[in-house]
Structure 1
Amino acid sequence: MSLVPAMLFATRHIRSRKEAVWAGGVAGPIAMIPGVFFYLALVGQYPGILERPVPANHLLEVLGSRGFQIAFQVVLFGTLIETGAGLIHAFNERIDSVYRMRGGEMPVRLRPVTAVALLLASYLLSRVGLVDLIGKGYNAMSYVFTAIVVIPLLTVGVYRLRSHRVPYSRHGT
């Protein structure tokens, strides 16, 4: 759910309902197929997999390939960096859109300040630890994201779509 704001930012080029349906129809299965294969691999290790803090790493241990484990960790690290950079950019773009909507321009110095603030928040969250963060934090985060993303989308967003009032478009259309 935390990626919804970034995904919505990335979909602003979609101009029609037909394009949206096609994009979802193609992207959905592309995103789900690897998840199905991962799930099937996890089921093969049930119930022992439940005790593992990082199930994907356990699957690679079962394969017995240290090379796969190292490659997985390198790819995972790269993916985390790429995702983090994309989320920081999406956050900055969201702030910029608010400035533009109000007829102003985001101060140039605010971008790096925002990035540093987000990195500092990430560092503080990392002190909790990955397993505890997932185990304890996801439940609380789901309520927060429901309050700040889902409810506004389903109320204000639907109202604006129905009334055809879109207050701001970066592309001027």
Structure 2
Amino acid sequence: MVLPTLPTLKSMHMGWMMAIYGITLILCLTSTGVTTTFAFVSRFENSKIFSKVENPVKRRMAISAFIIILSMTISLVGLTNIIKYGYGYCGYLAIAIVVVPFLTVGVYKNRKA
């Protein structure tokens, strides 16, 4: 069950609340998508990959289109699978990027100081 709120509302016979929940969920997803796309455009609009596009509006549109297409492609995997596998792999990646350097370089620097 991806969204347990909907079956709960349905079992409580609150159809009107399901409609409000659906509208609120769409608004939340839209605002998240807009802010995430804006953040990616701000981050990557001056990168070397897009430096060939001289018109800044076209460059921003290209980055936005790429981010939206990439997000839509990833969403086809499904929310449950993204959370189940994505968070697990991010944890393993964090061990390699954060924990191991902290235990090696951090201990060395503390002993040196």
Relative to the length of structure 1, the TM-score reads: 0.44
Identify the residue that residue 36 of structure 2 maps to in structure 1.
Answer: 87
In the alignment, does 2:86 pair up with 1:137?
yes
CA distance in 2, matches of 1:95, 1:135: 29
Larger RCO (CA under 8 A, 6+ residues apart): 1
In the alignment, does 2:3 pair up with 1:54?
yes
Aligned pairs, how many? 91
Q: Which moved more, 1:67-76 or 1:57-66?
A: 57-66
1:1-173 → structure 2 map (5 Å cutoff): 52-96=1-45, 107-108=55-56, 109-142=58-91, 146=94
Distance 1:95 1:143, change over 3 A: farther
CA distance in 1, matches of 2:13, 2:2: 18
| Structure 2 runs not aligned, ≥5 long | 48-53, 99-113
Q: CA RMSD in A?
A: 2.9
Deviation of the 1:84 alpha carbon: 0.4
- Secondary structure (helix, strand or coil) at the match of 1:128 reads coil
Deviation of the 1:53 alpha carbon: 2.8
CA distance in 2, matches of 1:77, 1:113: 25
**Structure showing greater Rg:** 2
Distance 1:116 1:53, change over 3 A: same
- Secondary structure (helix, strand or coil) at the match of 1:111 reads helix
Whichever structure has more helix as a proportion of its residues is 2
CA-to-partner distance for each residue in 1:46-65, whole Å, 9 max, x for gaps?
A: xxxxxx33222233224320
Deviation of the 1:143 alpha carbon: 5.2
- Kindly provide the amino acid, as one letter, of the partner of residue 130 in structure 1: L
Tell me the percent identity: 21
Relative to the length of structure 2, the TM-score reads: 0.63
CA distance in 1, matches of 2:14, 2:78: 26
Identify the residue that residue 101 of structure 2 maps to in structure 1.
Answer: none
